[in-house]
Amino acid sequence: MYRQGHLIGNHTFSHPWASQKNNFNLMYLQIRKTQNIMEDVLGFKPQYFRPAFGDITDLQLKIINRYGCEVIGWSIDTQDWFYDDNPKKIANNALSNLHNEAIILLHDGGGSRISTTKAIDILIRKAKAQGYRFVTIDALVSNKKKKLIRMKNARF
């Protein structure tokens, strides 16, 4: 996937719920282990982190800051984990909430992801037909930072 241009980030090693596991050593090991595996396999440490369940604690932020990672959330939850037998529903959950610079949450683990894979095909086809395009998170973040810089330099 990485060689095909996909961006890979850290999402912890075993997906613990941060607020229920407010233990510095556990969270540090979760994040560090994933960073180290990525570096060993891919030759770099991820620069983006998405917390499990979208739940992030001050403790996690301290650890993530040690690694220089940027926290990335999502703006659309397809609920593919819930509608795991209905690819059309998964795709429609995204399409009905689609907006510019959307970050769509989908899962690749936790059981069969066949419906998610089928939903992605539907989603990409229909979103492109509506004029949307897909970019990596780093391109999206870079664009947002450029907008902020332009806004800071604007005169009113």
Q: Which domain holds residue 105?
A: 74-156
Q: Do 45 and 100 lie in a common domain?
A: no
Q: What is the pLDDT of residue 21?
A: 61
Q: Do 91 and 62 lie in a common domain?
A: no
Q: What is the pLDDT of residue 48?
A: 92
Q: Do 94 and 156 lie in a common domain?
A: yes
Q: What is the pLDDT of residue 153?
A: 42
Residue that is last in its domain, among 12, 41, 71:
71
Asked whether residue 33 carries a pLDDT value surpassing 90, the answer given is yes
What's the CA gap between 99 and 95, in Å, rounded? 9
Q: Do 49 and 85 lie in a common domain?
A: no
Q: Do 30 and 83 lie in a common domain?
A: no
Q: Do 25 and 57 lie in a common domain?
A: yes
CB 48 within 8 Å of CB 65: no
Average pLDDT for 31-35: 92
Say which residue, 97 or 14, is predicted with more confidence: 97
CB 52 within 8 Å of CB 15: yes
Q: Do 59 and 107 lie in a common domain?
A: no
Residue that is last in its domain, among 37, 71, 105:
71
Q: Do 80 and 124 lie in a common domain?
A: yes
Name the domain count of the chain: 2
Q: Which residues of 62-81 are buried (b: 16+ CB within 10 A; e: fewer)?
A: ebbeebebeebeeebebbbb
Q: What is the pLDDT of residue 59?
A: 82
* 22-31, 39-48, 98-107: least confidently modelled range: 22-31
pLDDT single digits (tens) 41-53: 999 999 999 988 8
CB 118 within 8 Å of CB 146: no
Question: Taking the complete model, does pTM exceed 0.85, yes or no?
Answer: no
Pairing of β 76-77 and β 104-105: parallel
Q: Do 116 and 83 lie in a common domain?
A: yes
Q: Which helix (H) or strand (E) holds 71?
A: strand 70-71
Q: What is the pLDDT of residue 56?
A: 83
Residue that is last in its domain, among 51, 71, 91:
71
Q: What is the pLDDT of residue 150?
A: 44
Q: What is the pLDDT of residue 13?
A: 86
Q: 151 falls in which pLDDT band (50, 70, 90)?
A: very low
